[in-house]
């Protein structure tokens, strides 16, 4: 007996895709991560918010507003033809660089925790320009790589211009200072050059030349040296440099297999630093246990796989590189954040995408998901054929 055909609309589009958008699988995975994120943010930040702002749901309301805006942006971007971003790449890079410079302007830039990473907006809102420049740079590199053709293997054409642009962006990010974001931007850029076909010897050679500079940056600030020491042996200084890692590991250990239950975690109660931002994954480990950790890791894995499939199946070079860059950015940030909380990497101030508190990060990452959906739609409609 033949299987019953899948229901189709008059236009030949599956009803699920008409209701949920061009990529219901990706949307479902992101929605699940967002749900886990808002629940864990409420749990992790309630006591801190109540003590600091007199409202235990302050962080939840703030993140909820960013989520609504982000979902609206995601939907809007899913309707925009992907090749629009090829045209907009250069202007967006210009805007991004201006925003990066504004963080150092007194009265506009805001210093928090010893870093100049935010720009003040009216009504008490803040934006983080580094989150914007990540996507602007990805669009710029994707647009540039798509234009190079076979000359991509030429050092002066396919490699040097992109590295110089990345270098300028990384330089201003390091001035904030934000070493973690600078590393992520560099890795994503080099991965995009690699998949585009830039000669491997050019990439490896530049990485070797950059090692002395990276070593200098890593040891140029005392707090970075202490972080490296704590990475090797956090118990050598348990009350200072190793404090973050030790209490993060304690949180995972206390969670066991099933976790202690949502809202019942102990480490978030002023033991674990930044439980609602950089170390929210540790709270997941304590309250949801190994099963919750594995579920969240699986959801990110599926998002990354879906993004790579979108890139691989696309025949338009710009859209392929753009999809790969967005996927790499979200995936690397998630991997680094999780690795830091589990003591597998030195401590860095990188949020967990869609989960950690951070309005600019959430909105920009949801915008990236919207672009991925638009690329999927373009591929399905056959609108992604390359033009001569």
Is residue 388 one of the residues assigned to a domain?
A: no
Examine residue 63 and say whether the peptide bond preceding it is cis (omega within 30 degrees of 0).
Answer: no
Domain assignment present for 364: yes
Q: Among 169, 158, 163, 190, which residue's Cα sits nearest to residue 325?
A: 190
Asked if the structure places residue 7 within a domain, the reply is no
Range of the domain at 220: 23-377
- Classify residue 131: in a domain, yes or no: yes
Q: Kindly tell me if the per-residue pLDDT of 360 is higher than 70.
A: yes
6 lies in a domain? no
Q: For residue 274, give Cα distances in angstroms to 3, 78, 115, 278, 282.
A: 53, 33, 16, 6, 10
Per the listing, tokens 């890692």 go with: 245
In a domain, 80, yes or no: yes
User: Nearest-5° angle of CA 168, CA 173, CA 179?
Assistant: 120
CA distance 333 to 116: 20
The DSSP string of 82-104 is TTHHHHHHHHHHHHHHHHHHHTT
DSSP secondary structure letter of residue 260: S
Residues 6+ apart with CB under 8 A from 260: 254, 266, 286, 287, 289
pLDDT-derived band at 290 (thresholds 50, 70, 90) equals very high
CA atoms of 86 and 6, how far apart (whole Å): 36
Q: Judge whether 108 lies within some domain.
A: yes
Query: Is the confidence at residue 250, as pLDDT, over 70?
Result: yes
Count of domains for the chain: 1
CB neighbour class for 116 (10 Å; exposed up to 12, middle 13-18, buried from 19): middle
Highest mean pLDDT among 103-112, 158-167, 288-297: 288-297
pLDDT score of 383:
46
Asked if residue 2 is part of any domain, the answer here is: no
How many Cα atoms within 13 Å fall on the side-chain side of residue 78? 22
- Strand order of the β-sheet with 126-127 is 109-112, 115-120, 126-127
pLDDT band for position 216 (cuts 50, 70, 90) = confident
């Amino acid at each position: 007996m033949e299987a019953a055909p899948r229901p189709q609309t008059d236009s030949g589009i599956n009803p699920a895709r008409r209701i949920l958008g061009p990529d219901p699988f990706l949307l479902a995975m992101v929605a699940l991560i967002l749900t886990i994120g808002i629940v864990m943010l409420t749990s992790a930040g309630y006591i801190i918010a109540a003590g600091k702002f007199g409202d235990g749901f302050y962080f939840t309301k703030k993140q909820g507003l960013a989520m609504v805006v982000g979902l609206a942006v995601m939907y809007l971007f899913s309707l925009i033809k992907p090749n629009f971003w090829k045209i907009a790449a250069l202007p967006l890079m210009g805007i991004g660089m201006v925003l990066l410079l504004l963080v150092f302007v007194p009265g506009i830039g805001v210093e928090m925790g010893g870093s100049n990473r935010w720009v003040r907006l009216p009504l008490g809102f803040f934006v983080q320009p580094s989150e914007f420049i990540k996507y602007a740079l990805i669009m710029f590199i994707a647009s540039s790589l798509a234009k190079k053709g076979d000359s991509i293997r030429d050092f002066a054409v396919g490699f040097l211009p992109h590295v110089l642009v990345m270098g300028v962006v990384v330089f201003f990010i390091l001035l904030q200072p934000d070493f973690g974001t600078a590393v992520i931007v560099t890795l994503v850029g080099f991965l995009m050059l690699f998949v585009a076909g830039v000669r491997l010897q050019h990439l490896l050679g530049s990485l070797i030349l950059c090692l002395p500079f990276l070593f200098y940056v890593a040891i140029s600030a005392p707090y970075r040296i202490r972080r490296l020491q704590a990475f090797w042996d956090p118990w050598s200084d348990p009350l200072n440099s190793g404090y973050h890692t030790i209490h993060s590991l304690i949180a995972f250990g206390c969670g066991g297999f099933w976790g202690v239950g949502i809202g019942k975690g102990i480490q978030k109660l002023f033991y674990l630093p930044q439980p609602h931002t950089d170390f929210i994954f540790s709270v997941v480990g304590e309250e949801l246990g190994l099963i919750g950790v594995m579920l969240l890791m699986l959801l990110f894995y599926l998002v990354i796989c879906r993004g790579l499939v979108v890139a691989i199946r696309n025949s338009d070079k710009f859209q392929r590189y753009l999809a790969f860059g967005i996927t790499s950015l979200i995936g690397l940030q998630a991997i680094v954040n999780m690795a830091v909380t589990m003591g597998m990497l030195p401590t860095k101030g990188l949020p967990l995408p869609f989960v950690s508190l951070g309005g600019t990060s959430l909105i920009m990452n949801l915008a990236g998901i919207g672009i991925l959906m638009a690329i999927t739609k373009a591929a399905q409609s056959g609108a992604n054929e390359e033009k001569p």
